[in-house]
Amino acid sequence: MYTFSSKLKTFSLILMVLGAIGIGIGFMASPKTIEDVEKILAADSHHGHEASHSEKVAPHAAEVHNTEAHVVSDSVKADDTHAVDSTHTEAHAVADSTNHADVAAPAVADAHGNNHEEHANADVHSHDDHKAHLEHVLHQLKNKPWAALYVACIFFMLISVGVLAFYAIQYAAQAGWSPILFRVMEGITAYLLPGSIIFFILLVAAGLHFNHLFVWMDPEVLDKTSVKYDKLIDLKSGYLNVPFFLGRAAFFLIVWNLYRFFSRKNSLAQDEASDNTFYKKNFKMAAAFLVFFIVSESIMSWDWVMSVDPHWYSTLFGWYVFASFFVSGITVIAMVTLYLKSKGYLEHVNTSHIHDLAKFMFGISIFWTYLWFSQFMLIWYSNIPEEVTYFVTRIEHYKLPFFGMLAMNFIFPLLILINTDFKRLTWIVVMAGIVILCGHYIDFFNMIMPATVGDQWFIGIPEIGALLFFLGLFIFVVFNALTKAPLVPKGNPLIEESKHFHY
Amino acid sequence: MSNKVIHAIYNDDDVLMDAVKQTRAAHHHIEEIYTPFPVHGLDKAMGLAPTRIAICAFIYGLVGLSIYTALMNYIMINDWPQDIGGKPSFSYIDNMPAFVPIMFEGTVFFAAHLMVITFYMRSKLWPFKKAENPDVRTTDDHFLMEVGVHGNEEELVSFFTSTGAVEVKVVEKH
């Protein structure tokens, strides 16, 4: 039996308290009125001027900037709720370049020459624009603490879902190596229940208009008389409406939790059983769960992640989200296993088990990259305006996180975990694991933030606070659950093979 | 000094593994072992050095990646930077996503083929190569261990008989 070390318990409590303070600060610091926003922007605008100047100096960069601005301006026309503008001044230049340069392509040089003039014009004739822009930024800044909470919450909840899927796969595949790790996985999936409750509360809060995370939830976008009326969202309202949305979410979360509850119960019952009835039940349940899971996971990703950008859709998005949290889940299994092993609790776990987990981390990291690139390259290549804005906003405003996560989730694991000997070394696996987990947090950050806070993003106190809070809660729940049952599932018919697994 | 070798023939891989361990313990140098299928753990029992072919493959992959990157860069960016359907050919990085499928396949192609060729060369396999099979049964259901004869021949023969060999022969090797 595992005993929750008091040090770890204190550590997780400290994380939760610090995180809660950070979340509180985030909500307190978010601006309440347009005047607040004006002050914040005034502080930033000087910086913005300098940036646009330096871009003009390098002729090549300016050229690229102009073509990109073109696309951005298209997006501004297509969906104004989403208008993405880097800084105040730049935004006007971009909007203007549509008016002047029109849609014809060869105007690149022209627009370049006119830039100064446009700048002057922009200041004069755009007081209304200015006000609308302030309101837009206000929404983004108000969303910031909510989005920070949302990203951290969904990230940790989906880690436990990823572990649950891995666990079900191990059962359904009758894997011989992994039963020794089943109790670790069951411990990690214990977070699913509290995690999904908090997550559902967040969804309900969005549905009750406490925040503007989901643009389509705003009743005015469906109101034909409103200036905010959005026909595209209206056409999707048969699917994207709050009651149906919450109903789906509740249904998926309940079924996942039920599978988790019963598989854990059967797994414990199997320890005392004289035959394999409970094992067989678990086997069948795992197979059925996987079928349900792959459908619900796909729909879940449209609802909880893709619908923050209701004008954009991608067919392989469900798989992409799945790969992201699946690899994170496997990484967490490896890290919790290594922690328990280092404390002397898992005597039958040898380097071959770690090697197998590291291979999964490596393989699924590549799989994630494959899906990321397939999605990116198809959209980049065809460059259809209504699709490509998704990546234009990310490359314009999220360049470092967007490409940085590629280094963290692909290049780093590729180079580190390709070596067989390295996959057996604790410190290598832990180091790779930390980088992969941070990388996939940023991945979720990149999925949610551009649509909710736009260019106002920053990984500051609200984001780190939310991350620490859920990390603390995760550690507390997981290690508390690990104390509830012996760490070796002795009734599992494959446990002997697993104990002697050697690769 | 004659170059005689002992051919100890076994009909079970477990017996063979035990025999290999005993032979190593008795400090007889194993020249070669012929088996009809891969025997798991035999290389470890014989004390063979691990293969480095994976390292070769990694390097070949890097070579492939470099070649294809340089190729696309020369053709599409330096030599004739045409505007093809609006794709940006100003610099390599601008148009890189379009080259990734080629870079990937090139990496795999080089890694795979050069590794296979390396394997053939290092294990001296090629068409019309004369088979080096000391006993035809070793391709079917027998295992053969070849040990050079140094010193007392009879002692060696009795040693290998005691390890469970079904047949022990002393052969003149050319």
User: What is the DSSP code string of A413-442?
Assistant: HHHHTTSTTGGG-HHHHHHHHHHHHHHHHH
CA separation for the pair A206, A232 (Å, rounded): 20
Q: Do A67 and B88 touch (CB under 8 A)?
A: yes
Which residue out of A359, A371, A380 would a mutagenesis test of the B interface target, given it has the greatest number of B Cβ atoms within 10 Å?
A: A380
* Per-residue pLDDT, A139: 84
* Per-residue pLDDT, A52: 44
CA separation for the pair A403, B114 (Å, rounded): 32
The strand pairing partners of B7, in sequence order, are B146, B169
| Structure token digits, residue A102 | 């029109």
Chain A contact set for B86 (CB, 8 A): 383
Give the number of other CB atoms < 10 A from CB of residue B44. Answer: 11
* Per-residue pLDDT, A32: 79
Residue B151 pLDDT grade (very low, low, confident, very high; cuts 50, 70, 90):
confident
CA separation for the pair B154, A218 (Å, rounded): 95
Q: Pairing relation of β-strands B4-10 and B143-148? A: antiparallel
* Per-residue pLDDT, A100: 41
Give the chain A residue nearest B90 (alpha carbons).
Answer: A60
Chain A contact set for B98 (CB, 8 A): 377, 381
Chain B contact set for A392 (CB, 8 A): none
- What ipTM was predicted for this assembly? 0.90
- A224 CB within 8 Å of a chain B CB: no
Give the chain A residue nearest B54 (alpha carbons).
Answer: A419
Residue (of A190, A266, A262, A267) closest to A489 by Cα position: A267
- What is the phi/psi pair of residue B169, to 5°? -125, 145
- How many beta-carbon contacts under 8 Å exist across A and B? 18
* Per-residue pLDDT, A361: 95
CA separation for the pair A429, A421 (Å, rounded): 11
* Average pLDDT for chain B: 92
What angle do the packed helices A426-452 and A399-406 form, to 10 degrees?
150
* DSSP-assigned letter for residue A238: T
Residue B2 pLDDT grade (very low, low, confident, very high; cuts 50, 70, 90):
low
- A99 CB within 8 Å of a chain B CB: no
Residue (of A317, A295, A293) closest to A305 by Cα position: A317
* Per-residue pLDDT, A36: 78
Q: Where are the alpha helices (DSSP H) in chain B?
A: 13-25, 42-46, 53-72, 96-122, 153-162
- A418 CB within 8 Å of a chain B CB: yes
Q: What is the CA radius of gyration of chain A?
A: 25
- A377 CB within 8 Å of a chain B CB: yes
Per-residue pLDDT of chain A in tens (503 residues, 90 and over written 9): 889 989 999 999 999 999 999 999 999 988 877 777 877 777 766 554 444 444 444 444 434 444 444 444 444 444 444 444 444 444 444 444 444 434 334 434 444 444 454 455 555 556 778 888 888 888 888 889 999 999 999 999 999 999 999 999 999 999 999 999 999 999 999 999 999 999 999 999 999 999 889 999 988 888 889 888 999 999 999 999 999 999 999 999 999 999 999 999 999 999 998 999 999 999 999 999 999 999 999 999 999 999 999 999 899 999 999 999 999 999 999 999 999 999 999 999 999 999 999 999 999 999 999 999 999 999 999 999 989 999 999 999 999 999 999 999 999 999 999 999 999 999 999 999 999 999 999 999 999 999 999 888 899 899 999 999 999 999 999 999 999 999 999 989 999 999 999 88
* Per-residue pLDDT, A125: 55
Distances, alpha carbon B121 to alpha carbons A148, A205, B67, B170, in Å = 58, 67, 23, 31
Return the SS3 of B30: strand
Chain A contact set for B58 (CB, 8 A): 418
Long-range contacts (CB closer than 8 Å, 24 or more residues apart) made by A55-64 = A56/A115, A60/B90, A62/A112, A63/A108, A63/A112, A63/B90, A64/B88, A64/B90, A64/B94
CA separation for the pair A276, A282 (Å, rounded): 10
Give the chain A residue nearest B55 (alpha carbons).
Answer: A419
- What is the phi/psi pair of residue A378, to 5°? -60, -40
Question: Is the per-residue pLDDT at B9 higher than 90?
Answer: yes
CA separation for the pair B161, B149 (Å, rounded): 15
| Structure token digits, residue A66 | 């102009």
- A275 CB within 8 Å of a chain B CB: no
- A58 CB within 8 Å of a chain B CB: no
* Per-residue pLDDT, A73: 43
In Å, the largest CA–CA distance within chain B is 83
Chain B residues with CB-CB distance to A under 8 A?
A: 54, 58, 86, 88, 90, 94, 97-98, 100
Q: Measure B162 CA to nearest chain A CA, in Å.
A: 31
| Residues sharing a CB contact under 8 Å with residue A311, sequence separation 6 or more, in sequence order | A78, A79, A82, A232, A233, A386, A389
Dihedral Cα A176, A178, A180, A185, nearest 10 deg: -150
